[in-house]
Structure 1
Amino acid sequence: MIQLINAVLLTLLAVVTMAIVRQRSLFGVAILAGIYSFVMASVLIVLDAVDVAMTEASVGAGVSTVLLLATLHLINSTETRPIRRNLLALFFSVGTGAILVWGTLILPPFGTPDAAIHKHVAPRYIADSVKETGIPNVVTSILADYRGYDTLGETTVIFTAGIGVLLLLHRARRRGRAVDEAEDRG
């Protein structure tokens, strides 16, 4: 049953991706990007990565969609058609995708307990994290203690990006008001 749900969700992701590529309305792209993030959060829930799913839903489907729509309010919302198609970019994209798919063929099946990742660090975290950190939840102990600097860095990057977007939006709004005032005077 879970494989069927995964197949449906991944097919929906592919359909939304193709719709984004074909869309010429930037408003439509912003909405479809929010839908993509929501479906991706659903995939992560099925994969039992609820913490990552919550982040994807809040940042990807929530904050990013709002920021994209706010930015579209300040600019033209229709993409211009390219003069010529860039076949070199298509070639490299398809080639990179083929290499990535080929690389996944040598990986062990998903969830296999004999995979290399489950033999080294994971048993140590499961056995010693409560004793070493004093935090009863293993996932929280990994994110907050073992990977604390990494988590702080990720939070800083997201915060800085958000502040930058807000400053750009504020500057554009202020510039728009100055133009309106100049037109009222003239």
Structure 2
Amino acid sequence: MKIIAIGRNYAAHAQELNNPVPTTPVIFMKPDTALLKDNRPFYIPDFSNDIHYELEVVLKICKEGKHIQEKFAANYYEEIGLGIDFTARDIQSRHKEKGLPWELAKAFDNSAAISNFIPKANAGNLYDINFELQINKESRQQGNTKNLLFSFEYIISFVSQYITLKKGDLIFTGTPEGVGQVLAGDHLEATLNGEQLLNFNIK
């Protein structure tokens, strides 16, 4: 399986990091070694002094497809969940300044925390999903999928023009505004339409 992530898919998040709002999806990838499952703790790596959280709705691809038309893309995912794209912001900033790829900042071990997945039918209107991250019981990020720049179906169609999607692949669909640093000792909880899906510690 592979992890495909969409950057800057909420305008307010692009703006908070002083990035232009994209006109086509910004794509990057994480290896399967980035997965952090079952609410296991996240250990801050020693190569960064500024690890940021980015809460996202995650799609799980249910069948193989390439060159998928947008009108059929909804057939390629049946479950959704939540994920946190942990980002070494200090490394990312240095690489952006030099025009270098982001992988060292985005693809390191355990940088993709994921929840259990729920049937998308249980989420109601997929373009009115509320999701929230609390750190130490304080709300840090609140998002709603109505604010996506690129829809789930558009993302699937766009990515599949370049990369064949396979069953079990995960797509991180972008983070809303409110990203920030995590510190050792923090406790993270994330909900989707009020249902808690993530609940783990930073060490």
TM range (shorter): under 0.3
Could you say which structure has the higher helix fraction? Answer: 1
Could you say which structure has the higher strand fraction? Answer: 2
Structure-1-length-normalised TM-score: 0.22
Highest CA radius of gyration, 1 or 2?
A: 1
- Larger relative contact order (CA 8 Å, sep ≥ 6): 2
